[in-house]
Amino acid sequence: MKKKKCIAMLLAGGQGSRLGLLTKVMAKPAVPFGGKYRIIDFPLSNCTNSNIDTVGVLTQYRPLELNSYIGSGQTWDLDLSYGGVYVLPPYATADSSEWYKGTANAIFQNFAFIEQFDPEYVLVLSGDHIYKMDYNRMLQAHIERNADVTIAVRPVPWEVAPSFGIMNVDENDAIIEFEEKPAQPKSNLASMGVYIFTWDVMKKYLTDDNADPKSKNDFGKNIIPNLLNDKKALFAYAFTDYWKDVGTIASLWEANMDLLKDPPEFDLTDPRWKIYSRTPVMPPHYIAAGAEVTNSMITEGCDIRGKVSDSVLFAGVKVGEGALVEDSVIMPGTVIEPGAVVRRCIVAENCVISKNCQVGEVDGDIALIGQGTTLPEGYVVKAGTQVDTDSIKGKEGA
């Protein structure tokens, strides 16, 4: 079999519990973003645009939605005879069967997958960020510096640095120290969760790590520190373009709002770096007489009769007469009935916000309505609260 220079392993197994009800029924990478995308479209499109044509997607938590979304990979031109996209769930063998214990263990368990392509380098990606990045350039830097591992880093504001994995580097970008969520950060270069490993190095360190019963089998906690201890060649690769962690309700909302700025903070229209997504076939959207739509993104299948401002609406969303949607993100198939008001809120897929509901507030934290929830008529949801079918039932029962 022909060798692949570099293949990608996308860690899509995490629940993303900080997204609350949004990830109750689906894995974080399957969460909708930007009117017609899902988070996983970004790393997958980046791979295709970077000429990396082999991607293993490691899934574990609620994989159904993600699996059916990825399908044959055709959307991202990843339906190839040799290479393409593969969904890799945990599996049982003759003598063991185990879940992925950590990020490093997930990849260790799929060594056989990697070896069939006999790659020189392995790119490790995570499925929780919105960004456009040419991985090929990072690979060039990795090769030129003869690195064992290259870690993509991004400067973040100092005040949020304590919530990231922080890299301390020397004048040649060699990593001298790695601190996971330091209280007193010495640098503001945060790890983006994007690594390139020389395959031989990865193979040795992940094998050793797996043999260590005390290890948490995690790249940040175990593998990177071990490599540093052994004085391996670890380099930082600085990335300064738009990059947003969408791991929380607030940051997911913010990243959606970034698309509405003029010019947008994050531009999806660049013809040289398209983001591909699998979209249902729906007719163009309809704006009725009497509707008002400003500073918003609207896509196919929507039917707007009310007022929409500063919001991102996904496919097939209906907004009834006299309804108001403001500063909100409304995911596919949701219906906002006449007279309902939705402010500063993320409404997940296939919800019904019945007549005269008041969801969210002008100020305060972002409210969230979980997937498939039908709010009864006139229901009120306060700023920053999360509501789904179970919580409504609980409230009625109480």
Partner 1 sequence: MNDVMGIVYTSKDDLTLRELTSQRAVAAIPVAGRYRIIDFTLSSLVNSNIHNVGIIAQKNYHSLMDHLGSGKDWDLHTRNNGLFILPPFLTRENGGEYHGVLDALRANFDYLRRSRQEFVILTNSDYIMNTSFEPMIQQHIKSGADITLMYKKATPEITEFSSSSKNNHCYLNVNEDGVVKDIEINPNAASYDNLYLNVMMIKRTMLMYVVDQVISHGSHDLYADVLRPFINSGALKIMAYEEKGYYRRIETIRGYFNFNMDLLKPGVRDELFGGNPVYTKTRDYIPTIYRGNAKVASSLIADGCVIDGEVENCVLFRGVRVGKGAKIKNSIIMQDGYIEEGVELENVIFDKAVTIRSNSRLIGQKQYPIVIGKNITL
Which residues contribute to the site for partner 1 (CB under 8 A)? 34-36, 74, 260, 262, 268-269, 274-277, 279-300, 308, 312-313
Residue 194 CB, nearest approach to partner 1 (Å): 23
**Whose Cβ is closer to partner 1: residue 227's or residue 317's?**
317
Residue 133 CB, nearest approach to partner 1 (Å): 18
DSSP state of 124: E
Q: H-helix or E-strand containing 135?
A: helix 135-144
Residue 75 CB, nearest approach to partner 1 (Å): 9
Residue 207 CA to residue 301 CA, distance in Å, equals 50
Residue 337 CA to residue 352 CA, distance in Å, equals 7
Q: Are 353 and 342 in contact (CB under 8 A)?
A: yes
**Whose Cβ is closer to partner 1: residue 174's or residue 288's?**
288
Question: Who contacts 49 (Cβ-Cβ below 8 Å, separation ≥6)?
Answer: 132, 134, 273, 274
Residue 311 CA to residue 33 CA, distance in Å, equals 12
Residue 298 CB, nearest approach to partner 1 (Å): 5
Residue 265 CB, nearest approach to partner 1 (Å): 13
Residue 258 CB, nearest approach to partner 1 (Å): 13
**Whose Cβ is closer to partner 1: residue 92's or residue 289's?**
289
Burial of 331 (0-12, 13-18, 19+ CB in 10 A): buried
**Whose Cβ is closer to partner 1: residue 232's or residue 285's?**
285
Tokens 């789904």 belong to which residue? 388
Residue 228 CA to residue 180 CA, distance in Å, equals 14
**Whose Cβ is closer to partner 1: residue 25's or residue 291's?**
291
**Whose Cβ is closer to partner 1: residue 72's or residue 116's?**
72
Residue 199 tokens, joined:
């395959």
